[in-house]
Amino acid sequence: MTAAAALASLPAFRACATQDIERFVKLAPPVRFHGQSVLIRQGEPAQGAFLVLSGRCRAEVQRGDERVVVGHVQAGEVVGELGLFTSAARRSATVIAEEDVQALLLTQDLFDRPHALPVLSVIERRALATMAERVRRSSQATRRRRPRPAAPAAHTGKDWLAGLMGALQRLTGG
């Protein structure tokens, strides 16, 4: 299946006109990955993203000498989108093809086109929802882990006595 046909078959892009799909595929070059090859490597500079057309990938995070699978990416999903909307970011996970994967390479150059690209608009709308959800979850995880400010110490008899003694000393200049 050609990249254009694969893109047109994805539910999110079915409303896009054929000429828009074909134009987009010329601007976002199709790439293929064999199973077990790496699409994105954790720690590398984030430049561009991939729109997966077919196949399945897994995202892993390496910490120390261990790896944890943090999710899977299916056809129709964008992977590495922070590298599309920001500059100077680094990849936070490694993404590996679990089987042969066909994808479109999305670069920041796509934003510099004088005319709107309907396919890019669909990608942007989907990214708005997924990124908002992710930010919200990250923020909530931060709040759950942030130490609560210490409650003011209860007023004890000793505090009261020390305060009174201090006030008396100030009054008497001692």
The number of residues that bind other proteins (CB under 8 A) is: 55
Q: Which of 12, 30, 56, 92 binds other proteins (CB under 8 A)?
A: 92
User: Does residue 156 bind other proteins (CB under 8 A)?
Assistant: no
Instruction: Show Cβ contacts of residue 68 under 8 Å, excluding neighbours closer than 6 positions.
Output: 60, 61
Q: At its nearest, how many Å lie between other proteins and the CB of residue 172?
A: 40
Please, which of residues 45-84 interact with other proteins by CB under 8 A?
59-71, 82
User: Does residue 105 bind other proteins (CB under 8 A)?
Assistant: no
1 or 17: CB nearest other proteins: 17
Binding mask 121-150 for other proteins (x = CB under 8 A): x--xx-xxx-xxxxxxxxxxxxx-xx-xx-
User: Nearest CA to 110 among 47, 24, 46, 51?
Assistant: 24
The structure tokens 């892993």 sit at 60
Q: Where would I find the beta strands (DSSP E) of 34-152?
A: 38-40, 49-54, 57-63, 66-73, 78-79, 94-97, 101-106
Angle at 110 between CA 102 and CA 52, to 5 degrees: 20
Residue ranges binding other proteins (CB under 8 A) = 36, 38, 41-42, 59-71, 82, 85-87, 89, 92-94, 96, 108, 110-112, 116, 118, 121, 124-125, 127-129, 131-143, 145-146, 148-149
